[in-house]
């Protein structure tokens, strides 16, 4: 034990002393290599920090190879420098491949930053959603239809990336669909996974459009398997449908100068084709259609007694209830506001006789 300690002390304190120091400094390549090594060891963390670190270290070790080959003329210096430089280059290659695999296409990257990043959706979850649509971006030319009313089946869910889509029903304009909005969210929510239906509106591209589309079955499987993604889609679809309803509400405000409450019952008779400006003749025909058919003898009003006249004015005639449009088709678009009609209020008053929905509620 004492012999080992004496050997170590000799190596540390009584080692060979440099007989003479070089008067000439090492070449510029040696100093350049050390500068690169110093910069490399100052690198940070993360993917880009690793790029910085291994990039400068690899360059520094390459300079060490050149110094060992031209100035030092030492085989061991060359071998170690080559080995360290190769390790740094391999690490750089691994980082480049990792970035390439994790990089999203331009359209999907912009969609993530606009729609999912504000909601703090993890990138890995977003990649699962993108894989469900096979990372394909579809296009629509100007005036090309995405869905035709009463014909196109509801078998997918699409999200508009660019352009503008016009929504109409029975030839009447309803609202627009803008980028980063779902194109068929009402139809998606109107059906159960086991049900089938067709579009109740027509969607036409007004400008060149691009969109992504999830097949119905594949997306239902993903939502069943991933609860977080299911909650995410529920929130996005609910917000999208409410935006479409408010767009219809703004349309009513521009038409009548009265902003209705979308929580009130149906306003289909306001939005429907029968509510368009058809002139006084059509209004007269509608009034005649409301009157029930009565025999001529029944149409003659008997003279009223003085007692009945003194009691009060006669009750106004009740108006026949208009038949509501057929709405039993599955997959009905909620943006068309084809909901349950409400009963007329007492007497001859109707909802349209009020100047605001607040007066109607009172």
- State CA 242 to chain mean position distance: 14
Which residues are CB-contacts of 348 (< 8 A; sequence separation ≥ 6)?
316, 319
Between CA 164 and CA 160 the distance in angstroms is 8
Between CA 176 and CA 181 the distance in angstroms is 10
pLDDT at site 16? 61
Contact between 177 and 221 (Cβ < 8 Å): no
Token pair listed for 194:
């086991």
Q: What is the sign of the dihedral through the CA atoms of 333, 336, 338 and 341? A: positive
Domain parsing of the chain, residue ranges: 24-100, 105-254
pLDDT at site 204? 95
Q: Which residues of the chain have pLDDT under 50?
A: 262-269, 271-362
- What's domain 105-254's architecture? Sandwich (2.60)
Between CA 40 and CA 54 the distance in angstroms is 7
Q: Find where tokens 């009172």 sit.
A: 362
The 3-state DSSP class for residue 154 equals: coil
Contact between 193 and 220 (Cβ < 8 Å): yes
Residues in the chain: 362
pLDDT at site 160? 95
Q: Find, among 144, 250, 239, the residue nearest to 189 by Cα.
A: 239
State the alpha helices, DSSP H only, in 257-305.
268-271, 279-290, 296-299
pLDDT at site 167? 92
Contact between 178 and 247 (Cβ < 8 Å): no
Between CA 165 and CA 240 the distance in angstroms is 15
Alpha-carbon dihedral of residues 323, 325, 327, 332, nearest 10 degrees? -150
Pairing relation of β-strands 202-205 and 172-177? unpaired
pLDDT at site 194? 85
pLDDT at site 159? 95
pLDDT at site 64? 92
What tens digit of pLDDT does each residue of 134-169 get? 889 999 999 999 999 999 999 999 999 999 999 999
Longest dimension (CA), the chain: 144
- pTM for the model: 0.54
Which residues are CB-contacts of 47 (< 8 A; sequence separation ≥ 6)?
95, 98, 99
Between CA 163 and CA 137 the distance in angstroms is 13
Q: Find, among 42, 77, 70, the residue nearest to 56 by Cα.
A: 42
């Amino acid at each position: 034990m004492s012999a080992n300690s004496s050997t170590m002390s000799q190596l540390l304190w009584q080692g060979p002393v440099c007989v003479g120091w070089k008067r000439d400094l090492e070449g510029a390549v040696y100093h350049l290599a050390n500068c690169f090594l110093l910069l490399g060891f100052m690198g940070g963390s993360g993917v880009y920090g690793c790029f910085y670190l291994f990039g400068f270290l690899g360059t520094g070790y390459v300079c060490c190879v050149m110094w060992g080959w031209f100035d030092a003329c030492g085989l061991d210096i060359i071998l170690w420098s080559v080995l360290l430089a190769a390790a740094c280059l391999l690490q750089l290659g691994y980082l480049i491949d990792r970035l390439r695999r994790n990089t999203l296409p331009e359209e999907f990257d912009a969609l993530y930053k606009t729609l999912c990043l504000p909601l703090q959706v993890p990138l890995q979850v977003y990649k699962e959603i993108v894989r469900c649509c096979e990372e394909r971006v579809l296009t629509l030319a100007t005036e090309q239809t995405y869905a035709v009313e009463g014909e196109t089946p509801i078998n997918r869910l699409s999200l508009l990336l660019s352009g503008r889509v016009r929504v109409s029903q029975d030839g009447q304009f309803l609202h627009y669909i803008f980028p980063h909005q779902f194109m068929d969210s009402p139809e998606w929510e109107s059906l159960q996974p086991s049900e089938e239906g067709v579009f109740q509106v027509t969607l036409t591209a007004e400008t060149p459009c691009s969109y992504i589309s999830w097949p119905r079955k594949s997306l239902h499987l993903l939502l069943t398997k991933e609860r977080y993604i299911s909650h995410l889609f529920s929130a996005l679809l609910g917000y999208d449908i409410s935006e479409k309803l408010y767009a219809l509400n703004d349309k009513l405000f521009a038409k009548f100068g009265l902003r209705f409450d979308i929580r009130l019952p149906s306003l289909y008779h306001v939005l429907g084709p029968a509510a368009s400006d058809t002139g006084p003749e059509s209004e007269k025909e509608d009034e005649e259609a409301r009157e029930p058919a009565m025999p001529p003898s029944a149409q003659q009003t008997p003279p009223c007694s003085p007692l009945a006249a003194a009691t009060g004015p006669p009750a106004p005639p009740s108006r026949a209830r208009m038949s509501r449009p057929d709405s039993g088709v599955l997959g009905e678009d909620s943006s068309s506001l084809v909901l349950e009609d409400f009963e007329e209020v007492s007497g001859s008053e109707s909802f349209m006789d009020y100047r605001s929905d607040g007066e109607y509620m009172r």
